């Protein structure tokens, strides 16, 4: 039985392949670490810091367990600032349970999170919880993308198709949910990073501010008291703007500036207006899951038989989509639902 299991596992290598170019779709982890290093590179070399700065003042008097418990309540931006105080503070932060693990296996996520301006919205535990589970939170497949605003992993198909992972610009969120600047200041806002290493925004240059659609919707409901009141407010504002626009259009053209039709997007669509829906990739980083038990990084496997049967414009059942990712165990489960893989496996097991 053990022999047969090993044979199946080795056969999996012949029946699968690795997806290769997904890291290029979204924020490039390696480039982010080069461009936005932790502590802005100031604390990269401990030996260059004078030993006189190696204490943390009165914190030295506290038991380790106590300052660990205290530091774990801090958000990641505060922790990062604390690291810059002294060599001693840096050592204390580096010694935090969980923080060291994040630095070692998800350092690129940490650097990107801080660069995107989301440091105040995550603690060490928040980020650990979000990245430590391998599954896409929408469908359960292996998720190799981490979506900062959704605070969860996603697979490629859900990233493309599920509105949960499609951010809104701040302007669009204000329009859709009747939010004002004060309400926006109370929810996480991601400021996109522009460089040759990140996707190009369909909205042009500068940093685009993005929010999570569900968080923005909930903020709108909180501001207006209920979903119905929020929708009434948004509809009334749109009607008023259209009325005002109509009145101005009917006036004789004197020296008035060119009028722009009010933006009256009525419904949220999952399309940001670009063929590749670029906006959705601007708050996403490619992050294979680190398997603590197996001590290896899991990038996932895709089914060769499904790829042979699919085209780029695939419209068949989801379970046979060629971009799906599996762990080795997951792929063995997939064989049950993939007839062509079963035939290939039989041929491999009984070569002519």
Contacting residues toward Zn ion, per CB under 5 A:
136, 138-139, 141, 155, 158, 303, 305-306, 338, 341
> Per DSSP, what are the bridge partners of residue 27?
285
Q: Residue 15: CB partners within 8 Å, gap ≥ 6?
A: 303, 304, 305, 331, 335, 341, 344, 345, 348
Q: What radius of gyration do the chain's Cα atoms show? A: 25
Query: Measured from the CB atom, is 179 or 305 closer to Zn ion?
Result: 305
> Per DSSP, what are the bridge partners of residue 291?
296
Q: The tokens 């039989």 sit on which residue? A: 346
Query: Measured from the CB atom, is 16 or 90 closer to Zn ion?
Result: 16
Q: Which helix (H) or strand (E) holds 99?
A: helix 99-115
H helix intervals, 116-154: 124-131
Query: Measured from the CB atom, is 27 or 305 closer to Zn ion?
Result: 305
Q: What is the rounded distance in angstroms from the CA atom of residue 115 to the CA atom of residue 192?
A: 9
> Residue 107 Cβ, how far from Zn ion at the closest point, in Å?
25
> Residue 140 Cβ, how far from Zn ion at the closest point, in Å?
7
CA 84, 90, 93, 99 torsion: positive or negative?
Answer: positive
Query: Measured from the CB atom, is 192 or 287 closer to Zn ion?
Result: 287
Q: What is the rounded distance in angstroms from the CA atom of residue 192 to the CA atom of residue 36?
A: 13
> Residue 293 Cβ, how far from Zn ion at the closest point, in Å?
23
Query: Measured from the CB atom, is 244 or 319 closer to Zn ion?
Result: 319
> Residue 125 Cβ, how far from Zn ion at the closest point, in Å?
24
> Residue 306 Cβ, how far from Zn ion at the closest point, in Å?
3
Angle at 45 between CA 40 and CA 48, to 5 degrees: 115
Query: Measured from the CB atom, is 67 or 165 closer to Zn ion?
Result: 165
Query: Measured from the CB atom, is 142 or 193 closer to Zn ion?
Result: 142
> Residue 197 Cβ, how far from Zn ion at the closest point, in Å?
25
> Per DSSP, what are the bridge partners of residue 145?
154, 286
Q: What is the rounded distance in angstroms from the CA atom of residue 99 to the CA atom of residue 104?
A: 9
Residue from 189, 183, 275 nearest 224 by CA:
183
> Residue 106 Cβ, how far from Zn ion at the closest point, in Å?
20
> Residue 173 Cβ, how far from Zn ion at the closest point, in Å?
24
Residue 70, classified by CB atoms within 10 Å of its CB into exposed (0-12), middle (13-18) or buried (19+), is exposed
Query: Measured from the CB atom, is 139 or 200 closer to Zn ion?
Result: 139
Q: What is the largest CA-CA distance in the chain?
A: 88
Q: What is the rounded distance in angstroms from the CA atom of residue 348 to the CA atom of residue 11?
A: 7
> Residue 170 Cβ, how far from Zn ion at the closest point, in Å?
26
Angle at 287 between CA 281 and CA 288, to 5 degrees: 135
Q: Which helix (H) or strand (E) holds 298?
A: strand 296-298
Query: Measured from the CB atom, is 172 or 321 closer to Zn ion?
Result: 321
């Amino acid at each position: 039985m053990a022999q047969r299991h090993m044979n199946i596992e080795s056969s999996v290598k012949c029946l699968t392949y690795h997806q290769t170019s997904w890291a290029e779709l979204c924020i490039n982890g390696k480039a982010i670490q080069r461009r936005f290093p932790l502590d802005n590179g100031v604390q990269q070399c401990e030996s260059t810091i004078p030993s006189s700065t190696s204490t943390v003042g009165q914190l030295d008097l506290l038991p380790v367990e106590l300052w660990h418990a205290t530091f774990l309540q801090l958000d990641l931006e505060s922790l990062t600032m604390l690291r810059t105080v002294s060599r001693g503070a840096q050592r204390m932060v580096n010694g935090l349970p969980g923080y060291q693990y994040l630095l070692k296996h998800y350092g690129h996520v940490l650097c990107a999170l801080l660069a995107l301006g989301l440091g105040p919205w995550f603690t060490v535990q928040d980020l650990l919880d979000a990245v430590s589970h391998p599954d896409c939170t929408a469908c359960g497949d292996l998720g190799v993308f981490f979506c900062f605003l959704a605070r969860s992993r996603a697979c490629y198909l859900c990233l493309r198709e599920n509105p949960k992972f499609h951010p809104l610009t701040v302007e669009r969120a204000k329009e859709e949910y009747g939010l004002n600047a004060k309400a926006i200041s109370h929810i996480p806002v991601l400021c996109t990073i522009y460089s040759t290493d990140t996707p190009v925004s369909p909205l042009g240059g500068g940093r685009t501010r993005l929010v999570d659609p569900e968080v923005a919707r909930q903020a709108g409901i909180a501001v207006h008291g209920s979903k119905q009141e929020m929708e009434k407010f948004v509809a009334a504002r749109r009607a008023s703007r259209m009325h005002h626009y109509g009145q101005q259009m009917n006036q004789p053209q004197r020296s008035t500036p060119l009028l722009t039709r009010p933006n009256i997007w009525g419904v949220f669509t999952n399309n940001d207006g670009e063929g590749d829906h670029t906006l959705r990739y601007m708050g996403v980083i490619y992050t294979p899951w680190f398997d603590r038990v197996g001590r290896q990084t899991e990038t996932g496997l895709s089914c060769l038989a499904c790829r042979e049967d699919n085209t780029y414009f695939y419209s068949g059942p989801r379970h046979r989509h060629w971009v799906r990712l599996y762990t080795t165990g997951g792929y063995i489960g997939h064989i049950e639902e993939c007839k062509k893989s079963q035939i290939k496996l039989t041929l491999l097991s009984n070569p002519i």
